[in-house]
Amino acid sequence: MLELTYETFARKRRELKHRLEVLLRSEELQQYRELWHEHDAEPVFCTAAGVDGSSNCIRYKSLLLYAVNAVAVSYDGSMREQGCADVDFLIPYKYPSERVDLYRSTMELKVALSAADDVELLLLDGSLHSALTAPKQWWRFMEEDKVEEVMSYLPVLEENRGMELLAKRLGSRLDAEQVMLLEYLEYLVAIQKLIERGVHSLVAVAKTSTDSSFNRGIPDMAVLEEITSGPGYSIPRDRMIKMHYPIYDDFFRSLVFTRFYARLERGKDMLMIELPREVGDEEIRKLLSRLRHLSVEGYPYLLKRAHRRVVISNREIERIATSLGIGEKTGREVLAW
């Protein structure tokens, strides 16, 4: 079948190249130049922290073994780190990928919260708006008495100041649906606290974005990457939240997220930058000067270092499984202890 794939590509190669060239030369694409401000920011010192996390897991037929961690790498003239981690079995075994991802996200938020008061810039990998709007509406179809029982745990989640994943321990007597809602509540508590406390310092940075205002569906980030080469930034756009939440609904729906694209150094990658507040041109330029000071090769060094510190590879999660004495047959049909 691979041979057929290459034959198909050979047949369509000229057509594909032509379509690409036409697209990149289109007048509509060139209109994006009007959205771009050339600006070579002068580096300005600031205290900052970069936060990232990682997760990995091994699925067996009867259970799932996972590992998650997160770290905040802070800089105020010297470098320091603080973080947390968890290794456990996923119980109950339901929606494993989504829940392990949520564990990692919650841990990242809690680690970020621990560093929020000590820095001028708190850098997160990704997008807060996207994290908040990822579809998790299943809780709206739960029985009311089940939801009420889970909500009774909310004060404990709100009072917690630690970085542990508390919902896992609190939910030992709840059914699978309730445990998932409790884990989601812990995530919402963490992100609400972080935005409220760090609204003026939070900066989300991403290397990719699929947002598109171009009528052919090409991501704006890709267009700007193609038609510009020097440092600068795009005209910012505001984004709001329309979905509903089981807690803090008014708070989340009142937020305005400012998103724009920027290149910090000539010839380097375009970045998506997002702030959980409205900002003007002057504040954007001030932010870019601070990011320029913190960046190496056009990307914030603290985020790069945080990422290197947390990656949990397949080899490492396999090593954890082996050290637990877990054996497996082909296909992971059973566990042998």
Q: Which tens digits make up the pLDDT trace of 83-123?
A: 999 999 998 788 888 899 999 999 999 999 999 999 999 99
Q: In this predicted structure, what is the pLDDT of residue 151?
A: 94
> Where does the pLDDT of residue 206 fall: very low under 50, low under 70, confident under 90, or very high at 90 and above?
very high
Q: Which of 7-16, 195-204, 267-276, 302-311 has the lowest mean pLDDT?
A: 7-16
Query: CA–CA distance from 212 to each of 216, 223, 250, 275 (Å)?
Result: 9, 9, 28, 18
> Where does the pLDDT of residue 143 fall: very low under 50, low under 70, confident under 90, or very high at 90 and above?
confident
Q: Which of 64-73, 189-198, 220-229 has the lowest mean pLDDT?
A: 220-229
Over pLDDT 70: what percentage of the chain?
A: 91
Q: In this predicted structure, what is the pLDDT of residue 9?
A: 78
> Where does the pLDDT of residue 288 fall: very low under 50, low under 70, confident under 90, or very high at 90 and above?
very high
The 8-class DSSP code of residue 42 comes to: P
Cα–Cα dist 124/130, whole Å: 13
Strand partners, 68: 55, 86
Residue 273 — φ and ψ, nearest 5°? -120, 135
Q: In this predicted structure, what is the pLDDT of residue 326?
A: 83
- In the predicted model, is pLDDT for residue 138 greater than 80? no
Q: In this predicted structure, what is the pLDDT of residue 93?
A: 80
Domain assignment present for 47: no
Cα–Cα dist 53/55, whole Å: 7
Q: In this predicted structure, what is the pLDDT of residue 33?
A: 82
Q: In this predicted structure, what is the pLDDT of residue 329?
A: 46
Domain assignment present for 227: yes
151-181 pLDDT, tens digit per residue, is: 999 999 999 988 989 998 898 888 888 999 9
- In the predicted model, is pLDDT for residue 336 greater than 90? no
Q: Which residue matches tokens 């052919």?
A: 216
Closest CA to 55 of 98, 94, 114: 98
The 8-class DSSP code of residue 327 comes to: B
Q: Which residue matches tokens 């000590």?
A: 118
Find all residues with CB under 8 Å of 275, minimum gap 6, and list them: 202, 203, 204, 257, 258, 259, 287
Domain assignment present for 12: no
Domain assignment present for 99: yes
Fill in the amino acid letter for 314. N
Q: In this predicted structure, what is the pLDDT of residue 200?
A: 95
**Which ranges of 134-237 does DSSP label H, i.e. alpha helix?**
144-151, 154-159, 166-170, 176-198, 220-227
Q: Cβ(56)–Cβ(67) under 8 Å? A: yes
Does this model's pTM top 0.75? My answer is yes
Range of the domain at 199: 63-323
> Where does the pLDDT of residue 327 fall: very low under 50, low under 70, confident under 90, or very high at 90 and above?
low
Q: Cβ(141)–Cβ(271) under 8 Å? A: no
- In the predicted model, is pLDDT for residue 145 greater than 50? yes
Domain assignment present for 146: yes
- In the predicted model, is pLDDT for residue 213 greater than 90? no
Between the ranges 25-39, 213-227, 255-269, where is the mean pLDDT highest? 255-269
Mean pLDDT, residues 307-334: 81
Task: State the Cα torsion 32-35-39-43 to the nearest 10°.
Answer: -110
Domain assignment present for 111: yes
Judging by beta carbons within 10 Å of its beta carbon (0-12, 13-18, 19+), is residue 105 exposed, middle or buried? buried
Distance of CA 127 to the CA centre of its chain: 5
Domain assignment present for 49: no
Report the mean per-residue pLDDT for the chain: 89
Provide the strand spans (E) within the chain.
Answer: 36-38, 48-59, 64-75, 79-89, 121-125, 202-206, 232-234, 237-240, 256-263, 271-275, 295-296, 299-300
Residue 134 — φ and ψ, nearest 5°? -60, 135
Q: Could you give the number of structural domains in the chain?
A: 1
220-258 pLDDT, tens digit per residue, is: 898 888 889 999 999 999 999 998 899 999 999 999 999
- In the predicted model, is pLDDT for residue 299 greater than 80? yes
Angle between helical axes of 176-198 and 144-151 (0-180°, round to 10): 50
Q: In this predicted structure, what is the pLDDT of residue 27?
A: 67
